[in-house]
Amino acid sequence: MLKETRTFALFEAYIYMYYFTTLSLLPSGFTMLRAFSHTHGRCAFHHAKCWHHCKPVLAIRREDVNAWERRAPLAPKHVKELTQMGYKVLVQPSNRRAIHEKDYVKAGGIIQEDISEASLIIGVKKPPEDKLIPKKNYAFFSHTIKAQEANMPLLDEILRQEIRLFDYEKMVDHKGMRVVAFGKWAGVAGMINILHGLGLRFLALGHHTPFMHIGMAHNYRNSSQAVQAVRDAGYEISLGLMPKSVGPLTFVFTGTGNVSKGAQEMFNALPCEFVEPHELKEVSRSGDLRKVYGTVLSRHHHLVRKRDGLYDPVDYDKHPELYTSRFNTDIAPYTTCLINGIYWEQHTPRLLSRQDAQKLLVPVRSAAGAMDGCPELPHKLLAICDISADTGGSIEFMTECTTIDSPFCMYDADQHIIHDSVEGSGILMCSIDNLPAQLPIEATEYFGDMLFPYIEEMLLSEGSEPLESQNYSSVVRDAVIASNGSLTAKYEYIQKLRESREYAQSLKMGNKKRVLLLGSGYVSGPVLEYLTRDSNVAITVASVMKEQLEQLTKKYSNVTSVHMDVIKNEEKLSSLVKKHDLVISLLPYSAHPLVAKKCIDNKVNLVTASYLTPAMKELQESVEAAGITVISEMGLDPGLDHMLAMECIDKAKEVGATVVSYTSFCGGLPAPEHSDNPLRYKFSWSPQGVLLNTVQSATYLKNGEIINIPAGGALLDSVTPMDFFPGLNLEGFPNRDSTKYAEPYGIQTAHTLLRGTLRYKGYSKTMGGFVKLGLINPDPYPLLSSTTPPLTWKELMCKLVGIQLPAEYHVLKEAVFSKLEKDKSQLEAVEWLGLLGDEPVPAADSIVGALAKHMEMKLPFGTGERDMIVMRNEIGLRHPSGHLENKFIDLVVYGDNKGYSAMAKTVGYPTAIAAKMVLDGEIDAKGMVIPLTKNVYGPILERVRAEGIVYSTHSVIKQ
C-alpha cells in the first residue's frame, strides 16, 4: 500500500511539473489551468488524464451556408498552436475556403470529412440541420437569441439532439462588450462597398466621381489593396475633381465599437476632416469640396428624454422606451451617407422611420443657373450602409438584407417599395449581413485571435456531460444557449419570444380563414396566387427550403413563413396545424399519413394532390370520427384525369350508354425544343418520385384479362408507342393499379381499363439501363449517409458493378457496358450524366435518392425553357342503339416562360380551388374524398378553364 501511495505521489508530482513547464511555453494570455484544478487541497487531474490519453479533438467544419462564405473560425497559426499543445485538429475539406488546405496541413491539421470523433465542432455560420451530430459541443453564430423565426428549426434540432451550443455573439466581458466578433472587418468591407455604391449612384444622377474607381470589397486581394484604391480616389478629390453641383459630402458613423472603427479606418484613406455633429449643418452647406467630412455619433448626440429633452445615460439604460431620437431632424438632413453600426433592441428609439424618410427625400428646389448637364442632387441623404444588417431595426424601412451578389437596392419612401437598382428616386441601401466574408483571410485571422483564448475550455468538455459540472469562465458559460436538450436559464426567454410572436400572428389573422401550406416547391406558386386573391384568407407556409420561403413571403403580403423540417418536427407541426382551419400538403406522398394524423388530432381539414395510398385509407375511420374532410388526388394525375373521365362517364350514363373501355395516359414533359438530353426529360416535380415510378408494379385490364407487372423494372418492358400526337413521338407505360378505379368510376362493365404515363420515345430504354445498374434502388444505403466520407460516382459505380478500387476509367466503362448488355445508348446516358466520373455523390438515404438529387442538378429547366402537359383520355361507349362511340379528351398545357410551369399550373390550381371550396363550405362531405362526384369536379373544371387549363373533346362513331 505504501509503495502504491508513493507511486501515486510521484505521478501527481510529474503531472504538476509537466503542466507548469507547458504553461511557461504557452503564448501570452492563454493558459491551461482548466485542465486541472485543486479540490480540497488535492490535485484533480481528470481533464489532464483525458488529455494525456484521449487527446480531445477539435473540428473546423466546412462553411456551406452560401457561396460567398469563405471564412473559417481559426487560421493555420491557431491550429499550429493547438497541435503543438497535443490536440488533434480536424479540418473538413473545402475548395471554397479562402485559406488553402495545405496551410492547415502544414500547421498540423488533418484534412478529413468525418468529424464525428471531435468533442468540439466550430464554424462561422450555422451548419445544415441534417449535418448536426448528437451530444457534441458546437460553436458558431446561431442567430437565435432574438428568436429569429428562420433559425428556430435549427434550435429545435439542437435541443432534440442534446447539443451544447456556444454562440459567439454572446461571448461578452464583464461590461457586456463582445470579445469574439468580426466587427472591424464588417466595418472595413461595408465602407468599401458603400463608396463603390456612391460612385454608381452619383453616375445614375448624372455625375462622374472619383468613387467610380473603387470596387466591391471582395474584388481586392486584401484590405491594403482596397486602401490604395480609396487613397487614389481621395487624391482626385483633393485635386478638386468632385462636381461642384454635388456639394460637400458628409458621412455619419453611428456607434463607437469595432464596426464603426473599421469603417472609419477605411474612411481615413480619403482626404477627410472629422467634425462634431452640431457642426455638420455648416460644413454640409459651405464645406471644402476638396475633402469629405465625417462625424461620429454617440447616444448623447441624438437621444433625449421625451418629457424634458435631456439625456441621462443611467436612466436610458433602465428605461430606453422613455427616450426618442432627434437624428431625423438634427443630423439626417445634413448627411450624404449614413454608416450605421449600432445594435438595436426592442423598445429603444429608431434612427429613422418611413415617415422620416419621406420628409428627407422631398426634392430640393434647384438653384438659379442650374444646368441639365450639371444637375444638383435631388436631396441630401443619398445612401445608407446598414452594417448592423438588423432588419426592421434602427432603420425601420430596412426590411430585407442585400447580398454580396446584389449589394444595393433603392428605397422609395413615397411608394414604400424597395427595388433592385441604383437608379430612380429614393435612398441607396446596402445591408449585407456577411460583410467580413468579402475579406476572408484577414477576417479569419482577426476572429481567430479573439476566439483562441477560449477554445481550450470548450474543448475540454463533453457535450453529453451536465452543464453544471463544467468549469467554464463566465465568458464561455454565458454563451451557452442550449445544453443537454434544454435552453439554459439565461436563454429560456427565447421560447417566450416565440410564443408571443405566434400569438401576435394569430391576432393578426383575426377572423380570417387560416390555411397552412406545407411545402414551397414547384407547385406552391399557383396555390398561393389563387388563395391570396381573397384578402380574407391568411396563409402560413412551412418548408425546409429557406430561399423559396423568402421569395414567397416577399411576393405575397398576407403570407407568413415558417422555416422547418415538417417530418422532423412533429410537435411543431401539430402546434401549427392546430392554429389553422385547413392544411394543404404539397409534401411527398409518404409524408401525408403523418400530416393527416395531426389533422385528425386537431380536427382540421386537409387537401393533398397525391394518391389516396393504402396508408391514408387506413385512417378512414379516424377521419370520419373526427368529422373532418380529407381530400386526396386533387392535382393533375391523379386529379384532372379523374374529373375529365367522370364528366364524360356521367354524361354517358345520363343517355343510357355503357362504358366498355377506358384508357388514360398523362405525362409532364419538357417542350419538344427543350428535350435535348438522353432521357428526353427534365424535372418539374419530385425527381425521386419520377424515378421510383419506373420500378413500381402495375395492374391493368385489357380485353377482359387482368395483366400484372411485377415491381423492379419490368414496367419498362411494357412500353408501347403513342401516336395520337404523331409529331411528339411519345411512348407510354402502365401506371400503378388501374383496375381499382372500376368501382369508384362506376365502370365495372369495361373490358379494358388502363391508366398510364407518357414520355418521349427513348426515355424508358434509358431508365432501363439505370435499373440494370441498380441505380433505382430505394433501399437504405449507409455509405451515402451525410455522416460518412463522401463517395464519387466512379467509386459508387465500381461497387455496383463489382470491380475493385481504384479502377481505370476504361475498365469501369467496359464493366458498365457489360452490365448494360452492350447497349450503347444506355452507356451514353450514363456517361452524359457523369456517373463514371469523380463528382461526389450527393448525401442521401438511398442510391435512388442520391441519383434524384444528381439528376435535379443535371436536368433542370433552364431560364426561358418551358415544360408541357399532355393528357389523352379515350373512353369507349356502347349506346342503347348498339352503336359504339370512342370519346377522346385531350389536354395540352404549356408552361409560361416567365411564369408558372405547366406542371405547377395543372397541379396547383385544382388543389387551390378545392381548398377554397372547403373553406367556403362548397365541399362539406366528411371523410376521405376524391374528385369523382359532380358537385366536386363540376366547379373545379369550370374554374380551371379561367386559369388557362383548357381541354378539347371529339368523338368517333362506329356502327
The string of DSSP codes covering 778-836 is: -SB-GGGSTTSPPPBHHHHHHHHHT-PSS--HHHHHHHHHHHTTT-HHHHHHHHHTTTT
Q: Catalytic residue among 637, 717, 845, 924, which?
A: 637
Sign of CA dihedral 306, 308, 309, 311: negative
Please provide the size of the chain in residues. Answer: 959
Contact partners, residue 199, CB within 8 Å, separation at least 6 = 209, 210, 211, 212, 213, 214
**Helix, strand, coil percentages, rounded to 5, for the chain:** 40, 20, 40
- List 561's β-bridge partners, or say none: 541
Amino acid at 817: F
Q: Which three cell numbers stand for residue 16?
A: 504538476
- Which amino acid appears at position 331 of this protein? I
Whether 637 sits among the annotated catalytic residues: the reply is yes
Q: Report the distance separating Cα 197 and Cα 206, nearest Å.
A: 14
Specify which residues 274 forms β-bridges with: 294
CA atoms within 13 A on the CB side of 586: 30
Grid coordinates belonging to 950 = 383548357
Q: What would the grid cell of residue 249 be?
A: 459630402
The Cα 498–Cα 518 span in angstroms is 20
How many Cβ atoms sit within 10 Å of the Cβ of residue 415? Answer: 11
- Residue 594, SS3 per DSSP: helix
3-state secondary structure of 841: coil
Q: Are 855 and 682 in contact (CB under 8 A)?
A: no
**In what order do the strands lie in the sheet containing 927-929?**
559-563, 537-543, 513-518, 582-585, 605-608, 629-631, 927-929
Contacts of 210 (CB under 8 A, 6+ apart): 199, 232, 233, 234, 236, 237, 241, 242
Strands 383-386, 409-412: parallel, antiparallel or unpaired by DSSP?
A: unpaired
Our CA angle for 358, 359, 362, nearest 5°, is 90
DSSP state of 279: G
Pairing of strands 951-958, 559-563: unpaired
Give the residue numbers marked as catalytic. 637
